[in-house]
Amino acid sequence: MAFSTGFSRTSRATRIRDKPDRRAHTTGTRAKAARTELLDDIGAFFARHDLEVTAPNMAAVCGALSGSSPELASALVQREACGEPIDQRWLDTVLRNDPDGNARIAALEQLSEKLEYALTRFAQTARDAQTETSDHRGAIGDQIEALAGPQEFAQVIDLSRAMLSRIEQIEAAMARSELEIYRLRESLARARSEADVDHLTRLPNRRAFERQLVAAAIEARDKGEPLSIAFCDVDHFKQVNDRHGHAAGDRVLCALAASFREMAGDHCFTARHGGEEFVLLFSGLAKEAAKGRLDAIRRAQAGRILMNRDTGQPFGRITFSGGVAQVDDDADTRAALARADAALYRAKQQGRNRIELG
């Protein structure tokens, strides 16, 4: 089946609804048929292009084939029309430069900030109310004590005492609410922090990298210092998964992440960008110096022999290729990403286990 026939500007459910309903199927039956057809097409797409079945890949392919992501669908059609391979590297590059994805991240950040601001205001209101009721309680208490003697004020005293008891209950409720707000803000902070971490390698993830890139570019501009970016990709990683299993492949990624973390330096921000790809930001280093730092890590990694602890068999040499580019100014971040990615592609084409400049 030609790939281009799998896309249209309308969803598959819409195309099925447009067919003659000769069997008088119900709406539910047609919807089920549409879902089945979509799932079949997704499975065929993954098999045809030999892609890993991962959550980001599933989301991207489903969006393209279902019609909910027409931009991605168009990019895939054009790619196949040109006879170019739709492989993991290319798909990661397309998704990395997806403006909708960046917009969703920004929207999530804005929502989190609004929630935190609302919690702050609510907490302040609770504290103000607590202070005000505390002052009123003190004043009422003083009046009750002053009026406690005369018999004619007995009813007033009883009513005031009831009001005082109610105010004390409100104060206690507000104190509990303030504690709940504090805990909720802590949970929100933990959730936002966890959302920035890759759960396998414990490195920052792509979401954290996108934000750090913008901040680092602005800081580099303000200080007049260079900033370089590097993309790294594990060589022949699919063979590791095929021969030793995905669990072993995960351990290889963790080992490489540890190497980057330990050897890249204090002024290098290292993140897992997705799959077997890592990204590094070298603050204060021009691209030649960054290449030298990364090449030292590459040589050290290439000299190690990793073992499969489940089988006792060696993985062999685990190497990586890299591409390095310099961020010229804060408006050049996307262009620098593209240059680093192109340099990585050249490193792969020229035999792997090498670093190229972009």
Question: Could you list the active site residues?
Answer: 276
Type and span of the H or E element at 273: strand 268-274
Residue 197 per-residue DSSP state: B
Distance from C-alpha of 268 to C-alpha of 299, rounded to nearest angstrom = 18
DSSP result, 44-96: HHHHHHT----HHHHHHHHHHHHTS-HHHHHHHHHHHHTT----HHHHHHHHH
Sign of CA dihedral 92, 97, 101, 106: positive
Q: For residues 230 and 290, give the distance between their C-alpha atoms in angstroms, rounded to a whole number.
A: 8
Q: Which helix (H) or strand (E) holds 126?
A: helix 99-147
Cα 188 to Cα 18, 29, 108, 109, 182, distances in angstroms: 46, 42, 12, 12, 10
**Is 339:331 a contact under the CB 8 Å cutoff?**
no
DSSP 330: G
3-state secondary structure (DSSP) of residue 32: helix
